[in-house]
Amino acid sequence: MPAPAPPGALDDSPAARRREQRGWYFYDWANSAFYTTIISVFLGPYLIPVAKTAACAQDFPGMAADRCVAGFDQLAIDNPGLGYVDVLGADIRPAAYFGLIMTVAVLLQIVFLPIVGALADHIGRKREMLGGFAYVGALATMGLYFVEGDRYMLGGVLFVVANLAYGSSVVVYDSFLPQISTAAERDTVSSRGWAIGYLGGGLLLALNLVLYLQHESLGLAEGMAVRISMMSAGLWWAVFTIVPLLRLRNRPVPAHEGTALRSVGGSFRQLGRTLAELRRYPLTLLFLVAYLVYNDGVQTVIGNSAAFASEALKLDKTVQISAILMVQFVAFFGALLLGRLAVSFGTKRTVLASLVVWTAIVVMAVFVGEGQALQFYLMAFAIAIVLGGTQALSRSLFSQVIPKGREAEYFSLLQISDKGSAFIGSLTVTVALQLTNSYRIAIVSMIIFFVVGFVLLALINLPKAIRAAGNEVPERI
Tens of pLDDT along 437-446?
777 888 888 8
Q: Round the average pLDDT of the chain to a whole number and report it.
A: 82
pLDDT recorded at residue 15: 87
Nearest partner of 271 among 171, 177, 185, judged by Cα: 171
Measure CA 250 to chain center. Answer: 26
Taking CA atoms, 75 is separated from 60, 231, 232, in Å, by 9, 33, 35
Measure CA 428 to chain center. Answer: 17
Pair (123, 89) in one structural domain: yes
Number of structural domains (the chain) is 2
Pair (113, 189) in one structural domain: yes
**Backbone dihedral angles phi then psi of residue 125, each to the nearest 5 degrees:** -110, 50
Pair (41, 83) in one structural domain: yes
**Within-domain flag for 455:** yes
Q: Calculate mean pLDDT across residues 259-263.
A: 53
pLDDT band at residue 418 using 50, 70 and 90 as cut-offs = low
Pair (376, 435) in one structural domain: yes
Pair (216, 310) in one structural domain: no
Contact 25, 192 (CB under 8 A): yes
Pair (21, 95) in one structural domain: yes
Task: Name the domain boundary from 195, 219, 250.
Answer: 250
Pair (289, 202) in one structural domain: no
Task: Name the domain boundary from 217, 250, 283.
Answer: 250
Pair (246, 275) in one structural domain: no
Range of the domain at 317: 269-476
Pair (192, 226) in one structural domain: yes
**Within-domain flag for 5:** no
pLDDT at 256 over 50: no
Determine the residue type at 274.
T
Distance, in Å, from the CA atom of 56 to the CA atom of 73, rounded to the nearest integer, reads 11
Taking CA atoms, 58 is separated from 15, 45, 55, 71, 341, in Å, by 62, 21, 5, 15, 55
> Which of 27-41, 187-201, 267-281, 330-344 has the least mean pLDDT?
267-281
> Which of 252-266, 356-370, 447-461 has the least mean pLDDT?
252-266
**Within-domain flag for 256:** no
**Within-domain flag for 3:** no
**Within-domain flag for 1:** no
Task: Name the domain boundary from 215, 250, 285.
Answer: 250
pLDDT at 27 over 90: yes
Contact 141, 158 (CB under 8 A): yes
Pair (219, 363) in one structural domain: no
Pair (176, 317) in one structural domain: no
pLDDT recorded at residue 1: 41
Instruction: Give per-residue pLDDT as tens, 350-403.
Output: 889 999 999 999 898 888 888 888 888 999 899 988 887 787 778 777 777 877
Number of H helices, E strands in the chain: 20, 2
**Within-domain flag for 2:** no
pLDDT recorded at residue 411: 62
**CATH number, residue 451:** 1.20.1250.20
pLDDT band at residue 258 using 50, 70 and 90 as cut-offs = very low
Return the higher-pLDDT residue of 407 and 432. 432
Q: Calculate mean pLDDT across residues 222-248.
A: 96
pLDDT at 81 over 60: yes
Per-residue exposure over 7-24, b if at least 16 CB sit within 10 Å of its own CB, e if not: eeeeeeeeeebebbbbbb
Q: What angle do CA 102, 35, 432 make, to 5 degrees?
A: 30
Instruction: Give per-residue pLDDT as tens, 156-174.
Output: 999 999 999 998 888 888 7
Distance, in Å, from the CA atom of 369 to the CA atom of 310, rounded to the nearest integer, reads 12
Q: Calculate mean pLDDT across residues 405-419.
A: 60
**Within-domain flag for 464:** yes
Pair (242, 273) in one structural domain: no
pLDDT recorded at residue 91: 86
Q: Any residues with CB less than 8 A from the CB of 229 and at least 6 apart, and which?
A: 37, 42, 208, 211, 212
Nearest partner of 313 among 251, 376, 383, 359, judged by Cα: 376
**Within-domain flag for 4:** no
